[in-house]
Structure 1
Amino acid sequence: MSKPKRKEHRANRAVLRNVRISPFKARVVADLIRNKPVYEALSILEFTPKKASPILAKLINSALSNVETSQELDWDIDGLVVAEAYVNEGPTMRRFMPRAQGRATRINKRTSHITVVLKPE
């Protein structure tokens, strides 16, 4: 017997796919904001000198506007928390760099799928 599925609102999330940043580097910043209130998370991202910081800040703002414009959610914007912030690996672009003696080495240009989910406290 399977568990009954919970109806999850899709309006409280924002997903950004195929971002040209390594998932390892983006996870460092995502770990900083997980389980923090939204405005505290935005202020943390504002002063974090990493490439992923403005990307995640833009994604949180997108999730906030999704909650604001949603017809089915009437949550208080000030009481929202970043419940989930996770980074998955996207497709890897493989490039080749010429090396000495006619050889070539492979360079992996990694991409990420970043997801942010907001929930009330």
Structure 2
Amino acid sequence: MEVKAKARFVRVSPRKARLVIDQIRGKKVNDANNILKFSPKGAAEDIKKVLDSAVANARENFQLTNIDEMVVTEAYVDQGPTMKRFMPRAMGRAYEIKKRTSHITIVLG
């Protein structure tokens, strides 16, 4: 039984989120939860919310009780749309700032 949870349009760079998501792939839910809880990375908070959502989906939608035995089978981050903003610079120029977003997906098995 596979249980999936997604968070779309999360305001974190996909490159930074992938550093955290690589640490929890293949781990048990409790281990992944502890890794995210004590991670200094900012993206860990958003990824922990998605993991908690996947656990809640397993418990509520599929009536699974053996959550401790579940493993993070798939975890990946896709790039979302990029917001483009402009910052004024010297001598009348403008500098483009790219605010990247991510789509975070976690599958438990």
Length-normalised TM-score, structure 1: 0.85
The structure with the largest alpha-carbon Rg is 1
The two structures, once aligned, show a CA RMSD in angstroms of 1.4
Task: Tell me which amino acid in the other structure corresponds to 1:100.
Answer: A
Matched residue pairs, number?
A: 109
In 2, the alpha carbon distance for the partners of 1:70 and 1:96 equals: 44
List alignment gaps of at least 5 residues for structure 1: 1-7
After TM superposition, list the pairs within 5 Å mapping 1:29-108 onto structure 2.
29-71=20-62, 74=64, 76-108=66-98
- Compute the displacement of 1:74 (Å): 3.8
3-state DSSP class of the match of 1:95?
Answer: strand
| Matched-pair identity in % | 52
Structure with the larger RCO, 1 or 2 (CA within 8 Å, 6+ apart): 2
Task: Tell me which amino acid in the other structure corresponds to 1:116.
Answer: I
Task: Tell me which amino acid in the other structure corresponds to 1:22.
Answer: S
- Compute the displacement of 1:103 (Å): 0.4
The structure richer in helix per residue is: 2
Equivalence for 2:10: 19
